[in-house]
Amino acid sequence: MPAPARRIALLNPNTTVAMTDKAVACARAVVDPSTEIVGVTNRTGPPSIESHYDEAVAVPGLLADVARCEGDGIQGYVIACFGDPGLDAARELARGPVLGIAEAGMHAATMVGRSFSIVTTLGRTIGQAEQLVARYGYGAMCHSIYACEVPVLELDQPASEARKLVVELCRRAVEVDQSDSIVLGCAGMADFCTEVADQVGVPVIDGVTAAVTFVEALLRLGLQTSTRSEYASPPAKDLHRPGFSL
């Protein structure tokens, strides 16, 4: 059996293996058969990421995973959390391209329309999404951000009616806010895309599949993260934290 042409790590910053498996299945469905998707679940941190604190405590384990993957022949990375936690730090460690799913989802949205809305999980994370919109330069294009108020780990539970709620909010974004497309604001919604798009009638973008196809394209083009300045390898330092090293 020939070796894969490209090896991309799909990094789940939380510790829930089922979420990793779902994201990996969605990613594998869109990449070339010669591209290998390697699912990596954080070994430390929270079971879901729904706050600034959750993001902060997840990042050390995420970076340790990047360091391990660098020794395993991984060529590119996707950070499968809509907060894009640890993105800049991961780019300092990885030789190949690293993309976050919020970054990729918003970029994709601007390629298929002049405006977009985001539909995410909890209202408390809207501020974080707004910060990312501003960081990526899409403040004028993002017409609205809505939260379905379903916790990440309940998205697949029938009692939550998550999909129905997401569809209703997407319709509101299209009809009230006049958005041309929708970005789903959670890796746990990766398998919602087709179902929601069929009911709403505009492009609906899952950041997991957008990010993995962008990374695949960058690898095909032979492009890697520039290490000229800010993304150069970090200075070697002793970390005063037992059990953690890069």
Looking at the structure, do residues 85 and 114 belong to the same domain, yes or no?
no
pLDDT tens string 24-70: 999 999 999 999 999 999 999 999 999 999 999 999 999 999 999 99
Determine the pLDDT at residue 240: 64
Cβ atoms 148, 121 nearer than 8 A: yes
pLDDT tens string 209-242: 999 999 999 999 999 999 999 999 999 888 765 5
Determine the pLDDT at residue 237: 86
Looking at the structure, do residues 176 and 108 belong to the same domain, yes or no?
yes
Whole-structure pTM value = 0.94
Has residue 1 been placed in a domain? no
Determine the pLDDT at residue 200: 96
pLDDT tens string 187-217: 999 998 999 999 999 999 999 999 999 999 9
Looking at the structure, do residues 73 and 45 belong to the same domain, yes or no?
yes
**Residues contacting 34, CB < 8 A, separation 6+:** 2, 4, 5, 6
| pLDDT score of 245 more than 60 | no
Determine the pLDDT at residue 133: 98
Has residue 173 been placed in a domain? yes
Q: To the nearest whole number, what is the mean pLDDT of the chain?
A: 94
Looking at the structure, do residues 85 and 140 belong to the same domain, yes or no?
no
pLDDT tens string 172-188: 999 999 999 999 999 99
Residue of higher predicted confidence among 158 and 60: 60
Instruction: Please name which of 124, 142, 135 lies closest in space to residue 205, comparing C-alpha atoms.
Output: 142
Q: How far apart are CA 186 and CA 7, in angstroms?
A: 23
Looking at the structure, do residues 51 and 109 belong to the same domain, yes or no?
no
Determine the pLDDT at residue 167: 96
Has residue 83 been placed in a domain? yes
Could you tell me the pLDDT band of residue 246, with boundaries at 50, 70 and 90?
A: very low
Determine the pLDDT at residue 160: 87
Expressed as residue numbers, the domain containing 49 is: 6-100+209-220
The residue to which tokens 């994370």 are assigned:
125
Has residue 245 been placed in a domain? no
Has residue 230 been placed in a domain? no
Task: For the chain, list the strands marked E by DSSP.
Answer: 6-12, 35-41, 76-79, 98-100, 116-120, 142-147, 181-185, 204-206
Determine the pLDDT at residue 4: 80
| pLDDT score of 15 more than 50 | yes
